[in-house]
Amino acid sequence: MTTARMSLDRFTRLLDRHGPALAAWPAAERSAAAALLAASPEARGRLQAAAALDMRLRRDLPQPHPAAVARLQEAVARRIARVPLPARPGPLARLRQALRPAVPAGWGALAAMATCALWLSLSPPRPAPEDPFGPLQTLPLAGESF
């Protein structure tokens, strides 16, 4: 299997998105990133700068106490457990939800189409229009005799 070449811009975007640990990158991107790192001193410099920033952030940002995190998780779990389950939708709501894919423009558009169809079906039929060229067809042309 051949690996696609990675540009420095793509490497930088992936570095910003996934961090300096290549093990956290998508598997499809790791080999191309490793090849770029082997060939490009600028890519190695960007990786080192990202690793230094990551280490500074981990060192300087305060880390929450594990007991506080556990208390927060328990409080969230208790609150989720107290919330009642949503009520089952009624038959009209289920019907609307089932018909939703058939009405991509919305219910207003469906109502407008139904109104137009009703209006057209109830309007009286109009007589066929008279042929505007009918009188001209009875006139003799030059050189014709009747």
Span 4-63, pLDDT tens digits:
689 999 999 999 999 999 999 998 899 999 999 999 999 999 999 999 999 998 899 888
**94 within domain boundaries:** no
Domain that holds residue 50: 1-82
**41 within domain boundaries:** yes
Domain count, the chain: 1
- State how far the alpha carbon of 22 is from the alpha carbons of 13, 32, 125, in Å: 13, 11, 75
> Closest by alpha carbon to 45, among 18, 11, 3, 5?
11
pTM of structure: 0.45
**Beta carbons of 21 and 9 less than 8 angstroms apart:** no
3-state secondary structure of 84: coil
